[in-house]
Amino acid sequence: MRFRKFYRKVFAAALIIMLSLGFAQPVLAESAASTESVTTDSSAQQSVVITGSNVNIRSGAGTSFEKVGKAKKGSSYAYLSSQKGKDGKVWYQIQYSSSETAWVISSYAKIKSNTSNQYVIITGSNVNLRTGAGTSFAKVGKAKKGEKYFYLSSEKGKDGKVWYQVQYSSSKTAWVISSYARMESNSSKQYVMITGGEVNLRSGAGTSYAKIGTVKKNAKFVYLSGKKAKDDKLWYQVQYTSSKKAWVLSTYAKLVNNDTSFTPYLTRTITIKKGGKSVYAEPDAKSKRAGKVSGGAKYTVTDWGDDGKYTWYAFQRKGKKVWISRNDVTVSDKFKSIPAKDFSDGTVPMIYLSPSKQPKNDYAAGNTNEQKEMYRVAAELQKILQEKYICTVYTAPTDLFLSLDGRALDAYNRHADIYLAIHSNSDGSRSKKSYGAVGYYQPNNPQSKKLAENMVKEMGKIAPHKSTVARKTVNGMKAFDGTGYSDVRDPAYYGITSILAEVEYHDNTDTAKWIVNNPKKIARALANSLEATFRLQRK
């Protein structure tokens, strides 16, 4: 795959998207002996555009530093950070080349937000690139199979075919017909921020592993993976240095996002239950008590997380952040309206698929489980969407098992328009069998409800039995005492339209076998529901 030098300069850090308002919050830091801190920082989806002519690029934030080159007006580089020089001027740190960072004075540069997170992969051999959206336009070059270019826009030609506009070189754009190309989403880096005071980093996921360093509060690292230790505690693997990986206990770290333009679509209010309840300094009943709050008092939630057993909410009380157990409160949510999306004009939607992450939900037949079968459905759905529709699709890997809110954050980072959680169902009843699809939708989002309705309708056309469920579409925030399903709540928090699709019941022998034998049919029904709701355009 080809990436030109220009791409490396402009987009080297455009994938760095930091996740804010993480839901896993700190408890008490594991004791550490050292105070050394190693941080990694970068601003998400921003680049620095040069506004002056032949501007000096320097090795540090000041004119006393060595010149490392010059930049022409209009040149663009990935933005890394800002710093005031000794003269009081602001300097921007940029990714000057694939291996070198440098600094430019802000007087001759400006920060620009990058909104695209998509690229086009060539699927044909020696495909023509043209000056416009049609075969009548002049050829500007050829693209080999597997090459990829940054996506700019799409347009239907006079013959009704869809064409993608791409960044062909640093100064040229070009058009390629969608018949020989497909859309993809750029990979999204996730970050872990240390929330404890001084926290140990270890060589493995557990306190029995050797310490390889200690880090201070607010240090940030690239997230690599997650793992549960033998005691069921969750650990994050991070990139500690350029050559070393390390593990940190999630109790003292969280996923973060430095996107300052983000405004939550969800406001959560808690009401203290009767009798008054204790609050704590940390989300842990074993931590220091921070007083009591009266029954009936209301507070706005500022953070939430869990201690591995219970969910906890944080709020401000007398100027201090305190925590209370979910068991001691009732919850009320208020959602801002999420704008409706319509892709009938050929605009390329980003669809995020979130298959079940429940490998312990065994099927009544087939020696299989929910996670395995829903990933089979997701694979078929991604294939259908990419081959038949103008869209880009991403399926959450099983590595993101550690939290569904992590998937929602990942979807936000990838600029997802639609979030589709794919599950199979179980009613837990031994006395009777249930059949049929159920769609859980977001409140105050008519398009989410419509998607749930269309999903149920399309599944009803292919289901082996007539539906027996009383409510085929359900407000997804009515579950779990009003805290709702994460696949419904968390995407809504980020302004992404989503549903939780329960395609059929897997605790019946006959329907379990039917799911196992029909992943393509189920995927086709889901694709039809997406097309009907969002007016997806076929290629």
3-state secondary structure 145-158: CCCEEEEEEEEECC
Listed by start position, the domains of the chain span 46-113, 118-185, 266-335, 350-534
* 289, burial (CB in 10 Å: exposed 0-12, middle 13-18, buried 19+): exposed
What is the pLDDT at residue 397? 83
What is the pLDDT at residue 431? 53
Domains 266-335 and 350-534 share a fold: no
Least confident of 43-52, 79-88, 450-459: 43-52
What is the pLDDT at residue 379? 95
Number of Cβ atoms within 10 Å of the Cβ of 437: 27
pLDDT tens profile 152-171: 777 778 888 888 888 776 55
| DSSP characters over 470-539 | S-SEEETTSSGGGT--HHHHHHHHTT-EEEEEEEEESSSHHHHHHHHH-HHHHHHHHHHHHHHHHTPPB-
What is the pLDDT at residue 1? 37
Backbone phi, psi, residue 235, to 5°: -120, 145
pLDDT at 294 over 70: yes
What is the pLDDT at residue 260? 61
- In the chain, the amino acid numbered 25 is Q
pLDDT at 523 over 80: yes
506 or 7: which leads in pLDDT: 506
pLDDT at 8 over 70: no
What is the pLDDT at residue 233? 79
Q: How confident is the model at residue 529 (pLDDT cuts 50, 70, 90)?
A: very high
pLDDT at 535 over 70: yes
Return the bridge partners of 214, or none: 200
pLDDT at 11 over 70: no
What is the pLDDT at residue 163? 87
368 or 73: which leads in pLDDT: 368
Q: Which two tokens stand for residue 240?
A: 């500690």
pLDDT at 404 over 60: no
What is the pLDDT at residue 421? 97
Q: In what order do the strands lie in the sheet with 298-300?
A: 298-300, 266-272, 329-335
Q: Which two tokens stand for residue 338?
A: 């999420």
pLDDT at 45 over 50: no
pLDDT tens profile 217-228: 888 888 887 777
pLDDT tens profile 253-284: 877 665 666 788 999 999 999 988 999 988 88
CATH fold for domain 350-534: Aminopeptidase (3.40.630)
pLDDT tens profile 117-143: 678 889 888 999 998 888 999 999 899
CATH architecture for residues 46-113: Roll (2.30)
24 or 525: which leads in pLDDT: 525
Which CATH number does 118-185 carry?
A: 2.30.30.40
Share of residues in the chain with pLDDT > 90 (%): 42
pLDDT at 438 over 90: yes
Q: Where are the beta strands (DSSP E) in 229-284?
A: 234-239, 245-249, 253-255, 266-272, 277-280
SS3 string, 324-369, reads: EEHHHEEEEEEECCCCCCCCCCCCCCEEEEEECCCCCCECCCCCCE
Least confident of 34-38, 509-513, 533-537: 34-38
Q: What would the mean pLDDT of 35-44 be, rounded to a whole number?
A: 30
Q: Which two tokens stand for residue 480?
A: 């779990």
Q: What would the mean pLDDT of 509-527 be, rounded to a whole number?
A: 97
What is the pLDDT at residue 200? 94
pLDDT at 198 over 90: no
Number of Cβ atoms within 10 Å of the Cβ of 320: 11
Q: How confident is the prediction for the chain on average, in pLDDT?
A: 82
Q: What would the mean pLDDT of 440-464 be, rounded to a whole number?
A: 97
Number of Cβ atoms within 10 Å of the Cβ of 162: 20
What is the pLDDT at residue 300? 94
What is the pLDDT at residue 117? 61
Q: Which two tokens stand for residue 18?
A: 């930091």
Q: What would the mean pLDDT of 300-326 be, rounded to a whole number?
A: 85
How far is 399 from 396, CA to CA, in rounded Å?
A: 8
Q: How confident is the model at residue 482 (pLDDT cuts 50, 70, 90)?
A: confident
pLDDT at 481 over 80: no
* 317, burial (CB in 10 Å: exposed 0-12, middle 13-18, buried 19+): middle
What is the pLDDT at residue 442? 96
Which CATH number does 266-335 carry?
A: 2.30.30.40
